A = this chain, B = another copy of it.
């Protein structure tokens, strides 16, 4: 399964370690065999990780032989309370206590929802994230955000809850489809755009389908540095929402339709709209924008919206968690590598961004 030399690297966050490298060389076995030797273990998986990742865990870690496996249905449309309820009922049935251990093995859905399930059960059971998708490795698993959707509103219900540890084993990347790798790359590009132009530059010269481990590691580190400086999102951390004001609205608007879009793809096009508005507002140099546009268009297909969709998309933006006093607050760029938070967007601004996207579609 592994095709890289495992050099275990440990990143320290405010309250938990992120171990980067082969799971077998990490402190994961010791946690299972020592700290949690007599505890019950529960592994939460989705349909994909059940088929492609679980066996690796069960055959390599003897301490997991009696673990309870709980399956979360795949897909954003299942990131809902009903599913959490079923898991809580199963946890009650297995008499899981606060001192037992939940292991979230999966992509962003499993770390968001599994963390939420663990954090709320009996007011908090210890949990570990083992992200298996590129997106979960560089983004979703890091930073303590957990949550579920409320109708079309993404992650509207949730809590901040820290895992015991995160184990990023790039070996799991071999289980991914190409589209999932692109998905993760979108958040890596974002890390470059908001905080590190060097990271952005390096990403221009690699294929998302064969992402170098050093760049994955760097991306985890950028995310961790930002969230550690502002765990509860009162300032600095808001930068991570670049691309997400438009992106979340695209994702929510298309959720359940035949054009349903993956998170990273939606965020990539969100970044394009928000970079465009950054130029319109006199913040971002046009040359930087053109570079961003070229990169996003090379990697991500366009999405088409019609003028009559605009009010519904704007309505979704109004539900964003970062808003204040009923106005949409957005992150914009000053340069590649530098973001500014708390930028208000009017409906006219949003229209401008959406018109830009629509023009690109029509020009094709």
Chain A residues engaging chain B, CB cutoff 8 angstroms: 38-39, 81, 85, 88-89, 92, 95, 97-99, 119-124, 145, 147, 150-151, 153, 155-160, 232-233, 318-319, 321-326
Contacts and interface: CB of A to CB of B under 8 A. Distances in A.
Contacts of A322: 98
19 contacts: A38-B325, A81-B85, A88-B150, A88-B157, A89-B150, A92-B156, A95-B323, A97-B321, A97-B324, A98-B322, A119-B159, A121-B157, A122-B156, A122-B321, A123-B145, A123-B160, A123-B233, A124-B232, A159-B159
A159 B122 CA distance: 8
A242 to B, nearest CB: 19
Contacts of A160: 123-124
Given A123-B159, A145-B123, A157-B120, A325 B89 contact: no
A81 B326 CA distance: 27
A159 B95 contact: no
Contacts of A324: 97, 99
Contacts of A323: 95, 97
A98 B151 contact: no
A159 B147 CA distance: 13
Contacts of A318: 95
A139 to B, nearest CB: 16
Contacts of A233: 123
Contacts of A155: 123
Contacts of A145: 123
A159 B325 contact: no
B92 A153 contact: yes
B95 A156 contact: no
A70 to B, nearest CB: 16
Contacts of A99: 324-325
A155 B124 CA distance: 12
Contacts of A119: 159
Nearest to A85: B81
> Which of A97, A150, A159, A318 is the most central at the interface, judged by chain B CB atoms within 10 Å of its CB?
A97
A323 B121 CA distance: 13
B321 A98 contact: yes
Nearest to A161: B159
Given A81-B81, A95-B326, A147-B123, A156 B88 contact: yes
Contact of A95 (B92, B123, B150, B319): B319
A264 to B, nearest CB: 21
> Which of A92, A122, A155, A323 is the most central at the interface, judged by chain B CB atoms within 10 Å of its CB?
A122
A13 to B, nearest CB: 18
Nearest to A150: B88
> Which of A153, A157, A232 is the most central at the interface, judged by chain B CB atoms within 10 Å of its CB?
A157
A321 B120 CA distance: 12
Nearest to A39: B325
Nearest to A148: B120
Contacts of A89: 150-151
A159 B124 contact: yes
Given A97-B323, A326-B95, A123 B158 contact: yes
A122 B320 CA distance: 8
Give 4 closest A-B pairs by Cβ, nearest first.
Answer: A122-B321, A123-B158, A120-B157, A97-B323
Given A38-B325, A123-B159, A321-B122, A150 B97 contact: no
